[in-house]
Amino acid sequence: MRHTESGGPVRHRDRGQWLPRFSDRVLVVCPRCGGRAEVTPRPGLPPLKYVSELLFRPRRLTCAGCGTSAGWQAAERGSGLVLARLGGTEDPFFRRPLWLQTRCAGHVLWAYNEEHIEALAGYVGATLREGTAGHTQAMFPRLPRWMKESGHRTAVLAGLERLRALSACSSPGDRSDAAH
């Protein structure tokens, strides 16, 4: 069991954060050059009132390497907007492979951005995990079982370290083999 310097277990308290919170900036594989591109909310929009707005806000894909840019808008069905579906190894807006993905413990470990990596590392690295009641959309309880098992802790933390290193890279040759 890992312990803090004070001798107690490494503790993580789930505050009920949900995955859309990390979708404000998604690192993806550029459709043109294969380098790292970013998917962000379109500039000039009013401030968010709710995190859930990130699921239907207009987006822009931009690549600093080759200059590619593209726009995305939520589809309409009837009088409502169709929300983006988060989760998996593709970004929920342009359906591009995520830049931050690596093979880990027989699975693919992925994250949207550096903040997402840090949140996952805090959870996975904890030996004492405290949940909160009432958060049905919370991200941590919805993680796959293999990521939560103590037997995979070392492998998952090493995978998150690889993702941290990938986040600093941007050329097509730096892309992970898991990022199809």
pLDDT in tens, 83-114: 999 999 999 999 999 999 999 999 999 999 99
Instruction: State the pLDDT at residue 151.
Output: 95
Tokens of 102: 């690596």
What is the CB-side half-sphere exposure of residue 9 using CA atoms within 13 A? 12
pLDDT in tens, 15-49: 888 899 999 999 999 999 999 999 999 999 999 99
Beta strand residue intervals within the chain, DSSP E: 11-13, 26-29, 36-41, 59-62, 69-72, 76-77, 80-81, 101-104, 107-110, 128-130
